[in-house]
Amino acid sequence: MEAIVYEEFGGPDVLHLAEVDAPRPGPGQVRVAVRAAGVNPLDHKIRSGRMEAAFPTPLPATPGAELAGVVDEVGEGVTAFAPGDEVLGWSATGSYAAGALAEAASLARKPEGLSWETAAALPVATDTASRVLDELALSEGETLLLHGAGGGVGSVAVQLAVARGATVIGTASPANHDYLRVLGAVPVAYGDGLVERVRELAPEGVDAVFDASGRGALPASIELRGGTTDRIVTIADGDAAELGVAFSSGGGGPSAEHLAQNARLAADGELRVEIAQVFPLADAASAHAVSEGGHVRGKLVLMP
């Protein structure tokens, strides 16, 4: 089968299409014929080698954590799914491929009417957003400062936070401000003067900070929290430990139950997931180049 492979760490150009053996599912696993695969910033960070300490990666490797597709083989002990079932969730072997393995417990059924590209865009973004909002204990009436609010995780987090009754101030480039207003956030430009701009919008301060961008906004966030690192969480800034800020990596594992709930919300039009661009599988290097460039509104998706 076809898969995107890299044999060495480096830039997007190390990614190439190759013929590999189709994996066979072990106990508790299923094999999924991939219809769409989500592209996440973590993918290019792992591919570059910068994340080896946190995510050791044996080479050669196939990138990709999230997928949507059709079950075509089940392993021993799997009763929740059967060949022909349409699913979405997390890959155990890399989703940038025509076929990938997944733990049955990490999958949810794809609701009828949900497109393949939207299904593939849901797992990481919705699970991460829900997890961090829980870690921040965000509640009704509070004000959340959300960095990277126009991205895949950020845009979902805006909607889930607003649904909790919070006011969301979202940093983003000016081109994404109207989009954020539609989602229910109060947009603000990032960069020099951020602290002053946020204080104009929230004179009494912000109750919590969710950094989904990793672009050096943590010092300003600490200042806006009155000098404390309490209730600041990042999913993207490698300097978090030095600053005493919590880094959320999802060590508890993904929640298939939450994914099923969020997939239904998306299918019913109650959760908006912006698809920034769809690339053919063979053009994964271009997708990584776009992802690394930043300023992506929504999710990038590969389709075999």
Q: Residue with structure tokens 């999958």?
A: 107
The one-character DSSP state at 298 is B
- Residue 252 buriedness (CB in 10 A; 0-12 / 13-18 / 19+): exposed
Query: Distance from first CA to last CA of the chain, Å, rounded?
Result: 11
* Phi, psi values for residue 214, rounded to 5°: 65, 30
- Residue 292 buriedness (CB in 10 A; 0-12 / 13-18 / 19+): middle
A 10 A CB-CB count for 301 gives 25
pTM: 0.85
Nearest alpha carbon to residue 212 among 146, 131, 167, 276: 146
Percentage helix, strand, coil for the chain under 3-state DSSP, each rounded to 5: 35, 25, 40
Nearest alpha carbon to residue 31 among 78, 53, 58, 259: 78
Between CA 60 and CA 196 the distance in angstroms is 47
List the pLDDT tens digit at each of the 304 positions of the chain: 999 999 999 999 999 999 999 999 999 999 999 999 999 988 999 999 988 887 899 999 999 999 999 999 999 999 999 999 999 999 999 999 999 999 999 999 999 999 999 999 999 999 999 999 999 999 999 999 999 999 889 999 999 999 999 999 999 999 999 999 999 999 999 889 999 999 999 999 999 999 998 888 999 999 999 999 999 999 988 889 999 999 998 766 678 988 999 999 999 999 999 899 999 999 999 999 999 987 787 899 999 9
54-85: burial string, b at 16+ Cβ within 10 Å, e else: eeeeeeebbbbbbbbbbbebbbeebeebeeeb
Between CA 264 and CA 87 the distance in angstroms is 12
CA distances from 94 to 66, 91, 155 (A): 8, 6, 25
- The predicted-structure confidence for 200-243, as pLDDT tens digits, reads as follows 999 999 999 999 988 889 999 999 999 999 999 999 888 899 99
Tokens of 284: 């994964």
Between CA 297 and CA 74 the distance in angstroms is 36
- Please say whether the beta carbons of 133 and 161 come within 8 A: yes
Tokens of 260: 């099923």
- Please say whether the beta carbons of 301 and 39 come within 8 A: yes
Between CA 102 and CA 81 the distance in angstroms is 12
- The predicted-structure confidence for 87-132, as pLDDT tens digits, reads as follows 999 999 999 999 999 999 999 999 999 999 999 999 999 999 999 9
List the alpha helices (DSSP H) in the chain: 41-48, 116-121, 123-135, 152-163, 177-183, 194-201, 218-224, 240-243, 256-267, 284-293
